[in-house]
Copies of this chain bind each other. A is one copy, B any other.
Amino acid sequence: MSIVLGDKEFFPSVPEVSYEGRDSDNPFAFKWYDANKIVAGKPMKDWLRFAGCYWHTFCGQGHDPFGPGTQHFEWNASSNVHKRATDKMDAAFEFFTKMQLPYYCFHDTDLIDEENSSVADFEKKIEFITNYAEKKQSASGVKLLWGTANLFSNPRYMNGAGTNPHFPTLARAGAQLKIAIDATIKLHGENYVFWGGREGYISLLNTNMKQEQDNFAAWLHMAKDYARKNGFEGGFLIEPKPMEPTKHQYDFDTATVAGFLNKYGLADDFKVNIEVNHATLANHTFQHELQVAADNNILGSIDANRGDYQNSWDTDQFPNNIAETTEAMLVFLEAGGLQGGGVNFDAKTRRESTDMEDIFHGHIGGMDTFARSLIIAEKIITESPYSDLRKARYETYQSGKGKEFADGKMSLEKLAQIGSEVGEPEQISGKQELFENIVNQYI
């Protein structure tokens, strides 16, 4: 990948980041991510399909509930909305190419400032910036992993978009949704994402949850039908999150989403985009959410970041916990990877990390963490007794009466008869500590 600059270089102090190996002391080199290295039969880059995200990295400047942003972005300098948008895109593609990121992701409003435009004006703005994006994608080879619409920041969506109690507001959201789908198709986006945003409730007292969920299903069907009719062949992705900004987000976790998709006949087209920090907010591990998705055949994509284990809001820190990510990559590899998605860094530098270089540090650390974990996981699966040990625990269901039961062909009378005759069953240790030691041996 060659570096693609615009009129000016926004990150002049950082050269292209390349793989130098684990003994390098260069903070701007990968120690583990070696894009073309073969792992489990194919290049790392094809397993991971890393993506840069537009919002945290090029739009969010570090504001939090207690203060405004701290980070100064040169690409915001122009007073002209179109120039700001192309400057930002130049910065973004400079970053993607310096970081060897093959993909990127955006919300519609990340690309160009909305500024309370009318629907028609906003559509024109999006047309302008997607024209520019086509050129940048073409020049760089960077592709669009997924697009989405920001239907939660504008005050009009304070009570939700696809679940808004007021139909005119929902319709206004629909106009924006259509533009975002069109933009995604135009830019050959490989997926289209629905993150719940404010699709949930703040108080159950004033909420008709059933009406809102039924409406949301209608909303998704409508979007899917439209996109398919217009040639979109990619995946639709729901991103689970249990809470925040609402008290309760309807897409609480992967199991909830899987149930929703089945209930409303959406399971053939929709998968999940699993975010690490959303998993832990839901009192799950990241690997649990991956496993639930894999078992339901809906493991679409990943939003890579990490939460804080003591503070329970969405901190969106860069992933760095090698132990956590290794256990996740075990599930990932056993599931055969992702279904059409990639690993998008929905992560932001801390509000106190105000050097432009910090954005690189964050992504380098995150990419190395995933790359290293992938390498470790492959070794655990292929070189250690891990897989055999786990398989052996379930071998009684592979044949004979156990299989008959598992296939749903045994009555309770028969099972009880077997149970009466078996006497006290053998006690079999779960050997969790041994499993854990094996994992650690390969880290």
Oligomeric state, in copies: 4
The residue in chain B whose Cβ has the minimal distance to the Cβ of A418 is B171
Partner of A322, one of B22, B119, B175, B443: B443
- Is there an interface contact between A351 and B158, defined as CB atoms closer than 8 Å? yes
Q: Tell whether A57 is near chain B: CB-to-CB under 8 Å.
A: no
Whether B248 and A284, one on each chain, are in contact in the complex, defined by CB atoms closer than 8 angstroms, is yes
Most buried by B among A173, A263, A419: A419
Asked whether A352 lies within 8 Å of B283 as measured between CB atoms, the reply is no
Is A364 at the interface (CB under 8 A from chain B)? Answer: yes
Check if B365 sits within 8 Å of A436, measured CB to CB: yes
Stretch at the interface among A34-42, A135-143, A399-407: A399-407
Cα distance, A432 to B203, chains bound together (Å): 7
Q: Which one of A81-89, A185-193, A313-321 is at the interface? A: A313-321
B-contacting 9-mer, from A5-13, A92-100, A214-222, A270-278 = A214-222
Among A44-52, A126-134, A161-169, the stretch in contact with B: A161-169
CB nearest to A122 among chain B residues: B420
Task: Give Cα A209 to B295, complex, Å.
Answer: 8
The contact sample of 14 A-B pairs, CB cut-off 8 A, is A67-B153, A70-B155, A156-B424, A165-B394, A174-B415, A174-B419, A203-B436, A205-B435, A215-B397, A225-B412, A243-B310, A322-B322, A350-B433, A365-B437
Question: Min CB distance, A49 to chain B, in Å?
Answer: 22
CB pair A353–B433 under 8 Å, yes or no, is: yes
Which 4 residue pairs are nearest across A and B when measured between Cβ atoms? A259-B259, A175-B419, A312-B312, A167-B402
Could you give, for residues 355-376 of chain A, a 1 whenever the CB lies within 8 Å of some chain B CB and a 0 otherwise?
1001001101100110000000
Contact with B along A394-433 (1 / 0, CB 8 A): 1011000110011110111101111110111111111111
Question: Would you call B412 and A205 a contact (CB within 8 A)?
Answer: no
Residues 200-243 of chain A, each 1 if its beta carbon lies under 8 Å from chain B, else 0: 00111111111101110110011101100000000000000011
State whether the Cβ of A159 lies closer than 8 Å to any Cβ in chain B: yes
Q: In the complex, are the beta carbons of A431 and B353 less than 8 A apart? A: yes
Q: Please indicate the chain B residues that have their CB under 8 angstroms from the CB of A154 in the complex.
A: 67
Most B-side CB within 10 Å, residue of A321, A391, A439: A321
Contacts of A245 in B (CB 8 A): 64-67, 351
Docked Cα-Cα span, A203 to B306, in Å, equals: 14
Any B CB within 8 A of the CB of A27: yes
**Residue in B166, B176, B226, B393 whose beta carbon sits within 8 Å of that of A411 in the complex:** B226
